[in-house]
Amino acid sequence: MYPVTYEADYLRERNRLTTFFRLIVAIPWLIVAYIYLIAQMVVVFLAWFAILFVGRFPEGMYNFVGGILRFTQRVNGFMYLQTDAWPPFGIGEDPSYPIRVNFHPPAARQSRVKDLFRLILAIPLLVLSYAMSYALMAVAAISWLTIVFRGYQPAAIHNAIAYLMGWSTRATSYIYLMRDEYPPVGDETPVEIDPPAGALAASEAAPLDPAPAAEAAPPAPEGGQAPPPAQ
């Protein structure tokens, strides 16, 4: 699993009113996010020099950049209808909030070469992120219409938005120098699939270790006489 993760809890029944006015009610968070992003870019710029000369991302700067990434993705998740809960304004962890962005501690050493050429290495990510942003807006528009007119969000739409948001989170963390590992397109999270009910019932009914069949007794000799006892 990639060291930076995005998770969003699914809730089927949704608030039609706040969904209808989502872009308006999100304005206070967008203003704060804009201010945070300016500070984040300054710290990323300083971190670029730190990695280039020292070979590591200073932990305090790393946590600040990751915390703002957490905040912005919570706001984006709120705007893209992953949840109706109001996002916290802080940048720290909040396990009670339905959207969670977690990241591992900074690596002890990071590649100076990858740091130096990060913008060049990130070009494929930027192109893919641009394409995925349109996919995200399209799926969110479908979600908006479904919630406004039917009052619920289908699980498939929620999962599609969560996948695209997860990709955006991983790509951003790489571009902002938090990781040297190239982010995968998939989330690399194993999915457990329950077996069919009939197969499960059959497996429970079957004996785990059937006893071996009893050995057949040797046939009686002709004439009906029993075999002599063993010496």
For residue 141, tell me if it sits in a domain: yes
Beta carbons within 8 Å of 14's beta carbon, 6+ residues apart: 81, 84, 147, 151, 152, 153
Q: How many domains does the chain have?
A: 1
| Predicted pLDDT at 187 | 59
Cα–Cα separations (whole angstroms), residue 106 to 36, 49, 76, 121, 162: 21, 16, 24, 20, 25
Q: What is the pTM of this model?
A: 0.79
For residue 181, tell me if it sits in a domain: no
Neighbour tally for 122: CB within 10 Å: 19
For residue 53, tell me if it sits in a domain: yes
pLDDT tens profile 18-73:
999 999 999 999 999 999 999 999 999 999 999 999 999 999 999 999 999 999 99
Structural domain that includes position 113: 4-175
- Compute CA 209 distance to the chain's CA centroid, rounded to the nearest angstrom: 40
From 14, 6, 157, 154, select the one nearest 83 (Cα to Cα). Answer: 14
